[in-house]
């Protein structure tokens, strides 16, 4: 029995079902609280849920979990609705595939890794450094959604794409795109940030992939090894299929280095003896 199975048998009853719907409901409430507050006071609840290690260590421990309710503000409403629809689609599909406990573990590992990375950044740069790193990582990885928890939900998208690579997503509700290619674009975005970002941004982006690597790293390694064996086999088959078909017994001219040469076989020689036009008439026949 695997570790996750043992944990599920012991703690499975504490798993939270429909956690994706709960997260989206919280984001919806905060989103409309900000959008329809005429005095600009709607931003205050967001400041109370942001993930800031300094505030957590001072007693505001709810920030460890409430930052997942940070809504995608600053984007057109139609894109926000599309974002929630996709998040619900991906999250519920993963929960149905894994089960409630494993899906909860996937999110909890991401939250724990994010907390550890933010704590390290806070020890050097303070809460302001953590907030700036979250903003920079979001701007460089996401497309149009500025929210400090976008890296967490990015791993939900990558996990869904891993299980359902042929799922068709209609970009702008018209253009059909396989989700495999969208996931590839996201991986390129992660790689770009890891290459050019400063160390806090790299740390946040790298830690956000920990849960994905724990759940899918072994499968990717097996796929890579299988691909290596397949490529080696195909190269051997290709080499065998390129074997020389005709070769002159005298000058060793062959059909590979002289493809236009018309080779002929001598009927007087023993066995199948091949000769080029220059030696078909002028050679010593091989007989027993």
Residue 98 pLDDT grade (very low, low, confident, very high; cuts 50, 70, 90): very high
Compute CA distances 123 → 58, 110, 119, 133, 188, whole Å: 14, 20, 6, 13, 30
What span, in angstroms and rounded, lies between the C-alpha atoms of 276 and 264?
6
- Residue 226: the pLDDT is 86
- Structure token digits, residue 211: 């849960």
pTM: 0.76
Residues counted in the chain: 288
Q: In this model, does residue 288 exceed pLDDT 80?
A: no
- Residue 144: the pLDDT is 46
Helices and strands counted in the chain (H then E): 11, 4
102-129 average pLDDT score: 89
- Structure token digits, residue 83: 């974002």
39-46 average pLDDT score: 60
Q: Please give the full DSSP string across 184-246, using - where no structure is assigned.
A: HHHHHHHHHHHHHS-HHHHHHHHHHTHHHHHHHHHHHHHHHHHHHHHHHHHHHHHHHHT--S-
- pLDDT tens, residue by residue, 189-247: 888 888 888 888 888 888 889 999 999 988 888 888 888 888 888 777 776 666 667 88
101-118 average pLDDT score: 90
- pLDDT tens, residue by residue, 17-40: 999 999 999 989 888 877 776 555
Closest CA to 31 of 51, 46, 47, 19: 46
């Amino acid at each position: 029995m695997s570790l996750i199975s043992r944990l599920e048998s012991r703690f499975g009853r504490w798993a939270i079902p429909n956690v994706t719907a709960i997260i989206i409901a919280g984001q919806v409430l905060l989103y409309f609280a900000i959008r329809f507050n005429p005095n600009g006071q709607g931003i205050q609840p967001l400041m109370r849920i942001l993930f800031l290690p300094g505030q957590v260590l001072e007693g505001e421990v709810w920030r460890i979990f409430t930052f997942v309710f940070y809504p995608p503000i600053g984007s057109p409403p139609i894109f926000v609705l599309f974002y929630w629809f996709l998040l619900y689609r991906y999250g519920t599909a993963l929960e149905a595939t894994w089960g409630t406990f494993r899906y909860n573990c996937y999110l909890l590992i991401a939250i724990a890794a994010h907390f550890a990375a933010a704590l390290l950044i806070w020890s050097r740069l303070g809460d302001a450094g953590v907030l700036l790193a979250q903003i920079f990582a979001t701007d460089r990885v996401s497309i149009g959604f500025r929210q400090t928890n976008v890296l967490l939900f990015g791993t939900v998208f990558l996990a869904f794409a891993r299980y359902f690579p042929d799922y068709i997503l209609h970009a702008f509700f018209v253009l059909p795109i396989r989700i495999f290619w969208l996931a590839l674009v996201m991986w390129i975005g992660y790689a770009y940030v890891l290459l050019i970002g400063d160390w806090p941004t790299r740390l946040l982006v790298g830690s956000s992939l920990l849960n994905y690597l724990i759940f899918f790293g072994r499968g990717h390694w097996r796929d890579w090894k299988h691909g290596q064996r397949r490529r080696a086999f195909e190269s051997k088959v290709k080499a065998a299929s390129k074997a020389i078909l005709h070769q002159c017994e005298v000058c060793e001219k062959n059909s590979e280095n002289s493809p236009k040469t018309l080779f002929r076989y001598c009927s007087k020689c023993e066995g199948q003896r091949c000769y080029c036009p220059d030696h078909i008439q002028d050679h010593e026949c091989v007989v027993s």
